[in-house]
């Protein structure tokens, strides 16, 4: 009577008779183990949609992928769309990593100048 995602956490379950009722009491003990965290799911930070450098990068990515598969009859529209999303994601991740590295360098420089 529980979801499949909770079934692995169920430690104990019991059905007890109800008092002065035809209903039964159901008890369930769930484990509180923690699962190791991984990198998680990637989500686009919508703030970048206002960044002209990012917008130009995505436009270039779309043009590059379109030109790469232009005239290739083995690639249908659905496959092209999936490849396009994959390349946009890869370009976005690379862009954000480079931006973060640049910000760290700027912070280190600013810190050195203060001291």
Look at residue 63 in the predicted model and tell me its pLDDT.
96
Rounded Cα distance between 33 and 10, Å, is 11
Question: pLDDT tens digits for 72-85?
Answer: 888 899 999 999 99
pTM above threshold 0.95: no
Per DSSP, the three-state class of 51 is: coil
* pLDDT score recorded for residue 5: 75
Same domain, yes or no, for 23 and 72?
no
Residues 50 and 26 in one domain: no
Q: What is the number of domains present in the chain?
A: 2
Pick from 88, 89, 45, 43: nearest CA to 63:
88
Assess whether 58 and 105 both reside in one domain.
yes
Question: In which domain, by residue range, is 71 found?
Answer: 46-114
Q: What is the pLDDT of residues 21-71, one digit of tens each?
A: 778 888 888 887 766 677 777 788 899 999 999 999 999 999 999 999 999
Claim to verify: residue 22 and residue 69 sit in the same structural domain: no
Q: What are phi and psi of 16, to 5 degrees?
A: -115, 145
Categorize the per-residue pLDDT at 89 as very low, low, confident or very high, splitting at 50, 70 and 90.
Answer: very high
Coil, helix or strand at residue 44 = coil
User: Is 38 among the domain residues?
Assistant: no
Whole-number Cα distances in Å, 34 to 31, 53, 70, 101: 9, 40, 48, 31
16-20, 48-52, 89-93, 102-106: the lowest-pLDDT one: 16-20
What's the confidence (pLDDT) of residue 82? 93
């Amino acid at each position: 009577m529980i979801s499949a995602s909770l079934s692995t956490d169920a430690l104990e379950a019991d059905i007890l008779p109800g008092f002065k009722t035809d209903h039964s009491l159901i008890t369930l003990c769930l484990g509180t183990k923690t699962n190791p965290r991984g990198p998680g799911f990637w989500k686009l930070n919508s703030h970048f949609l206002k960044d002209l450098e990012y917008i130009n990068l995505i436009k270039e990515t779309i043009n590059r992928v379109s030109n790469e598969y232009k005239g290739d009859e083995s690639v249908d529209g659905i496959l092209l769309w999936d490849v396009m999303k994959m390349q946009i994601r890869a370009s976005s991740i690379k862009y954000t990593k480079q931006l973060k590295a640049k910000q760290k360098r700027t912070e280190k420089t600013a810190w050195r100048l203060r001291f």
